[in-house]
Amino acid sequence: MGQRKKLRDIVGAMKDRGSLVKASLSRKPAASATRATVLRATTHKSAAAPSERRVAAVLSLGLGSGITASACIRCLAGRLGRTRNAFVALKCLFALHSIMIHRSSRDENLCLYSLCFEGKGFLNLPKFNDDFDEEAMEYSSWVRWYAALLEQSLIASRALGYVLSSSSSSSSSSSCSQLTREYKREKMRAAASSDLMRELEVLVTSLEQVCDAPGSLHLQRNDLVYGVVRSVCQDYRMIRCEVFSRVEELGGDERLGSSSPRHLTRLLSALERVEDCREKLALLFVNKANADGLWDLIARTKTKMRGLMRDGGRSSTAVLGGGGAWLPWRDRFSANAFTAVW
């Protein structure tokens, strides 16, 4: 088996060299340079992750002008679509994710991503499988998970209206970013509960996708997989932050006091879906990024909601501290009451 792997690495190195020669013969210097940079950062060599120098070279393209970045992303996506090698695929996905993370603060309107991915499941890797050996098939499961996670990240970004990435909420961000976060909070306070609910459900789906990581966590000993999980952990913090802010807003007494039974049911379902992820997320990230109080907030919100939903809305009353009384037979709230009927 060791000889087979060595032979595979040799064949892969030959393919990489042949691709570089082909790229150098292009009559378009800019396209040739972009392709060569991508090839050097996504080699077939399975022993290690690409060097920081190679990743930085790809990032310099991905963070350039719209035309340059678009060409780089299309080149990565094209190599990803053609390869059947799990290590090449993981390196392409890692490079794409790095560009998404670092470019988010300057591409809030998603123009670049819409241009490159056209709103579709652009990676299209649910059936990716490198069947060279059992280990390659295990790495293939990481490729499928990582691709689905990046696609879901873009879906969530479109739903929120801005790129869902850790860099836009970094604690070391500038005062401009602080103003952006304050603007988001004010926008959330003014949003309709139905809109916040839709956003929360999309974010919960993103958490579930993170949670759906392969069971072969021992492969994190590989530098490449470790780097992938570390990058995903950064985005996981961002997703938790977005989930927390929406649960906090939707779980306020005023919002809950004016919610229909259908809305309460949807919210309770979303909260339970988040809690179902708790054990796997703790295992994947070794309890990192779990100190924000999300689990306590969910428990408190569920306790308040269960009080509202008890007995299907037919029992006695309890003071909510404002917001009107729900009239179950009319599915609305009275304007001059301060108690909720259940």
**pLDDT for residue 181:** 67
Whether residue 163 is predicted with pLDDT greater than 90 in this model: the reply is: no
**Tens digit of pLDDT for each residue in 208-226?**
999 999 988 888 888 889 9
Tokens standing for residue 322: 């404002």
Whether residue 293 is contained in a domain is answered as: no
Whether residue 143 is contained in a domain is answered as: yes
Concatenated DSSP letters of 81-95 = HH---HHHHHHHHHH
Number of domains composing the chain: 1
Whether residue 306 is contained in a domain is answered as: no
333 or 113: which carries more pLDDT confidence?
113
Whether residue 83 is predicted with pLDDT greater than 70 in this model: the reply is: yes
Q: Write down how long the chain is.
A: 342
Whether residue 283 is predicted with pLDDT greater than 90 in this model: the reply is: no
Whether residue 321 is contained in a domain is answered as: no
pLDDT bucket at 113, cuts 50 / 70 / 90: low
**pLDDT for residue 342:** 32
**pLDDT for residue 327:** 36
Q: Which of 154, 160, 182 is nearest to 93 (CA)?
A: 154
**pLDDT for residue 85:** 93
- CATH number (domain holding residue 52): 1.25.40.90
pLDDT bucket at 334, cuts 50 / 70 / 90: very low
pLDDT bucket at 114, cuts 50 / 70 / 90: low
Whether residue 89 is contained in a domain is answered as: yes
Q: Which of 48, 40, 128, 33 is nearest to 89 (CA)?
A: 128
- The b-or-e profile of 15-34 (16+ CB within 10 A means b, else e) is bbeebeeebeeeeeeeebbb
pLDDT bucket at 77, cuts 50 / 70 / 90: confident
5-9, 89-93, 109-113: range with highest mean pLDDT: 89-93
Whether residue 239 is predicted with pLDDT greater than 80 in this model: the reply is: yes
Whether residue 281 is contained in a domain is answered as: no
**pLDDT for residue 225:** 92
Average predicted confidence (pLDDT) for the chain: 79
174-183, 228-237, 284-293: range with highest mean pLDDT: 228-237
Whether residue 332 is contained in a domain is answered as: no
84 or 7: which carries more pLDDT confidence?
84
User: What's this model's pTM, rounded to 2 decimal places?
Assistant: 0.82
Whether residue 211 is contained in a domain is answered as: yes
Q: Give, in degrees to the nearest 5, the angle at Cα 289 between 113 and 121.
A: 25
Whether residue 201 is predicted with pLDDT greater than 90 in this model: the reply is: yes
The region of weakest confidence among 5-9, 104-108, 255-259, 276-280 is: 104-108
Tokens standing for residue 108: 């809030």
**pLDDT for residue 129:** 94
Domain that holds residue 127: 2-250
Whether residue 287 is predicted with pLDDT greater than 80 in this model: the reply is: no
The region of weakest confidence among 6-15, 46-55, 308-317 is: 308-317
CA distance 111 to 322: 43
**pLDDT for residue 322:** 37
**pLDDT for residue 316:** 34
